[in-house]
Amino acid sequence: MDGLEEAKGILVLAATNRPYAIDAALMRPGRFDLVLYVPPPDLEARYEILCVHTRNMEVGSDVNLRRIAEDTELFTGAELEGLCKEAGIVALREDISAAVVCDRHFRIAKNSLNPALTKAEIHRYSSFMKTSSSVSRGHSESSSEEDMKKRSRLLPLSLVRVGIFSFVLLAAAKYFIMHGQETERELAIT
């Protein structure tokens, strides 16, 4: 990230779900300057994620995606995607020629999955305040009690930094997708 020549117009974004594995050198001042914690999806976001992952799936009239969203409080977007795929697999296991995924398939799939996040982790990440000790992180991978305590204090800072980059990356992707569609339309008109 450092160089002998000054580079202008370059933006580096990073995202991780393993912030404890980030090298301390990347967390020094002047590296990643902006950090954002992206919380797990709320009810509306979970509902939208479920809609996206079921749009190419024939779901039964008994499937209530809003209720499924309410029942999957700590699920991440990837876990919701897995839930939809698993519901489809459950339907196929029941009947190999199944054309519809019913509510019972979603319930069976949901009962076999557990969210990776806990409320304690979310609280710890969201209530983090940057301290001077967050910059001087140790490199050791030992499993001593002191190192584990240090890592647990630093984990939320990493998530906050990573979250900002995730948000910016998503915004940039949306911009480029929309800009690309406008260019296609302009070419089609001419």
Same domain assignment for residues 175 and 123: yes
Same domain assignment for residues 30 and 124: yes
Same domain assignment for residues 102 and 149: no
Ranked by mean pLDDT, which of 84-93, 163-172, 178-187 comes out on top? Answer: 84-93
Place of tokens 């890592």: 151
Same domain assignment for residues 174 and 155: yes
**Which comes out higher in pLDDT, residue 146 or 51?**
51
Same domain assignment for residues 126 and 33: yes
Same domain assignment for residues 78 and 100: yes
C-alpha–C-alpha distance, residues 35 and 16, integer Å: 12
C-alpha–C-alpha distance, residues 32 and 176, integer Å: 23
Final residue of a structural domain among 84, 112, 140: 112
- The answer to whether residues 160 and 129 touch, using CB atoms and an 8 Å cutoff, is no
Same domain assignment for residues 86 and 124: no
Residue 185: domain span: 19-38+118-189
pLDDT tens by residue, 77-86: 999 999 999 9
Q: How confident is the model over 126-143, as a mean pLDDT? A: 41
| CATH number of domain containing 82 | 1.10.8.60
Structural domain count, the chain:
2
Predicted pLDDT of residue 132: 27
The pTM is what? Answer: 0.59
C-alpha–C-alpha distance, residues 23 and 128, integer Å: 19
- The answer to whether residues 158 and 134 touch, using CB atoms and an 8 Å cutoff, is no
Same domain assignment for residues 122 and 178: yes
- The answer to whether residues 50 and 132 touch, using CB atoms and an 8 Å cutoff, is no
Q: Is residue 25 part of a domain?
A: yes
Q: Is residue 6 part of a domain?
A: no
Residue at 142: amino acid letter:
S
C-alpha–C-alpha distance, residues 39 and 172, integer Å: 19
Same domain assignment for residues 172 and 132: yes
Final residue of a structural domain among 56, 83, 112: 112
Same domain assignment for residues 150 and 177: yes
Same domain assignment for residues 58 and 148: no
Predicted pLDDT of residue 39: 83
Q: Is residue 10 part of a domain?
A: no
Same domain assignment for residues 142 and 167: yes
C-alpha–C-alpha distance, residues 128 and 80, integer Å: 26
Burial of 5 (0-12, 13-18, 19+ CB in 10 A): exposed
Closest Cα partner for 32 from 51, 47, 17, 19? 19
Place of tokens 């304690």: 120
Q: How confident is the model over 84-112, as a mean pLDDT? A: 95
